[in-house]
Amino acid sequence: MHTATAPVLDPSADIVDLTAAIVDIESVSGNEAMLADAVEAALRGHAEHLEVIRDGDTVIARTHRGLDRRVLLAGHLDTVPLAGNLPSVRRTREGREELAGRGTCDMKGGVAVFLKLAVEADAAPVDLTWVFYDHEEVAAADNSLTRLAAERPELLAADFAILGEPTSAGVEGGCKGTMKLEVTTRGIAAHSARDWVGENAIHHLAPVLERLAAYEARRAVIDALEYRECLNVVEISGGIAGNVIPDRASALVNYRFAPDTSVEQAEAHVREVLTGLDLEITITDSSPGALPGLGDPAARDFLAALGEGVSVAAKQGWTDVARFAALGTPAVNFGPGDALLAHTDDEHVPLEDLRRSLEALRRWLAVTPR
């Protein structure tokens, strides 16, 4: 007879041990149930000040202390697929202590810090909503925040939100928007030994590449944070055979635009950059950015509590903070780990990041280490 033992998480454990325990419960997107169970059990068993709600594989925990403001802290439980990098390994490299393995950086370090604080922070200056959610590393439609925003938006209501994505324990405000556009040129197919009876669709892409290569991207400064826009061809394709003049070619353009720009304005801008060229432009994907909202009182209190030792910068990549922005909630990213290591085979988190982010949030949430 086989008895499965459900893993148990102890929120009072050292932050490194707690992170390792969370990392070692494999939870590739779609397989978050066991970790969600463990998080739910830890919250129910150790934090009487919290209302705990289970929705699918998302666990939500809230204080109801009647305070003026509510801050939401969210971290996703899932990871991208493994690369033979579980269980986690604690190591020292070039004099630095690290925890390595899938999810250590993106973003179980942040989940561990939030889980620990959810239990500890029973006297914070604001009411708190903790969200541990599933399906972030897959299509937006499957992301649990999409479902919750549509079906139970009251659970996500807050004055300010903090997403535990890796920022090397600095604050990264808002995020840029992103848009993908398929640019297609047409020509007339012909044998490549008689090109004068045809028209080369690949050659028609020349001015597209030329304009984008010469493009000088805008740097938008918002709340003293600099968002650098990016406009690039990220994929290009065309060709029928080695002896044929192709009648179709296409370039996939990715525009990362500052959060003061709407999706409509972003589209208009790309069309303006490519104006006068004979081509078709189709938007295949778009998501608005998120303004940092650092002027919001809840954000100001948060930043003031963290102190001057914590860096504040713009988030360049798109993250789920944009979902909160869409709900009218200003949001920042704040978590341990270097975002550039996310999804890599050598994913790891410096132990110092775990400790610094925990201590910074403890200052803000008026938690005395126990």
Residues that bind a second copy (CB under 8 A): 176, 178, 180, 191-196, 200, 202-207, 209-210, 212-213, 217, 228, 230, 232-246, 249, 251-252, 254, 256, 285, 316-318, 340
136 as an active site residue: the answer is yes
- Cα separation, 73 vs 54, whole angstroms: 16
In this complex, which beta carbon is closest to a second copy, that of residue 91 or of residue 191?
A: 191
303 backbone dihedrals φ, ψ, rounded to 5°: -65, -40
Residue of 136, 172, 338, 353 with catalytic role: 136
Q: How far is the CB of 367 from a second copy (least distance, A)?
A: 33
In this complex, which beta carbon is closest to a second copy, that of residue 125 or of residue 238?
A: 238
Under 8 Å between Cβ of 350 and 97? yes
In this complex, which beta carbon is closest to a second copy, that of residue 66 or of residue 242?
A: 242
What angle do the packed helices 351-364 and 15-23 form, to 10 degrees? 110
Per the structure block, which two tokens stand in for 99?
A: 């925890």
In this complex, which beta carbon is closest to a second copy, that of residue 147 or of residue 318?
A: 318
Distance of CA 30 to the CA centre of its chain: 18
285 as an active site residue: the answer is no
Residue of 78, 120, 247, 338 with catalytic role: 78
Reduced to 3 states (helix: H, G, I; strand: E, B; else coil), residue 229 is coil
Per the structure block, which two tokens stand in for 355?
A: 């400790």
- Burial of 81 by CB count in 10 Å (0-12 exposed, 13-18 middle, 19+ buried)? exposed
Residue 130's beta-bridge partner residues?
61, 73
**Catalytic residue positions, numbered:** 78, 136
